[in-house]
């Protein structure tokens, strides 16, 4: 006798291939075993060994837009030494630099 109705409609039927077992939410999935799980329950690293048996439409990934980073000079105290700082305030150089060296580094970045 075969079941015709799923217990949870948002789950997908999977089969585990390859050797070794897989642990998902406290369950141990053995090789060749069929199981029901949501797409987000299966880690990205194991999606190549877990094959979906049901047809599903993968969710579209969000389009990532690259944001231009601006770099600034920050003077160290009252001296003539400078740091190159990004938009988040992180210092990019290891040692303090003179103004001309720091401006050249900004041009390269």
pLDDT single digits (tens) 63-78? 777 676 788 899 988 8
Token pair 């160290």 is found at 76
Query: 49 vs 59, which has greater pLDDT?
Result: 49
Token pair 């990004």 is found at 86
Number of Cβ within 10 Å of residue 66's Cβ equals 5
Q: How far apart are CA 13 and CA 22, in angstroms?
A: 15
Torsion of CA 87, 88, 93, 96, to 10 degrees: 90
Model pLDDT, residue 87 = 84
Task: Determine if the pTM surpasses 0.75.
Answer: no
For the stretch 50-106, pLDDT in tens is 999 887 766 677 777 767 678 889 998 888 899 999 888 889 888 989 999 999 988
How remote is the C-alpha of 82 from its chain's centroid?
34
How remote is the C-alpha of 99 from its chain's centroid?
37
- Domain residue spans in the chain? 12-52, 72-108
């Amino acid at each position: 006798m075969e079941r015709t109705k799923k217990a949870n409609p948002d789950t997908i039927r999977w089969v585990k291939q390859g050797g070794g077992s897989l642990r998902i939410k406290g369950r141990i999935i053995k090789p060749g075993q069929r199981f029901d799980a949501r797409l987000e329950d299966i880690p990205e690293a194991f999606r190549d060994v877990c094959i979906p048996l049901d047809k599903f439409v993968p969710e579209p990934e969000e389009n990532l837009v690259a944001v231009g980073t601006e770099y600034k000079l920050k003077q160290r105290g009252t001296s003539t030494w400078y740091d190159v700082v990004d938009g988040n305030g992180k210092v990019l150089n290891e040692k303090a630099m003179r103004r001309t060296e720091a401006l050249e580094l900004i041009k390269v970045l």
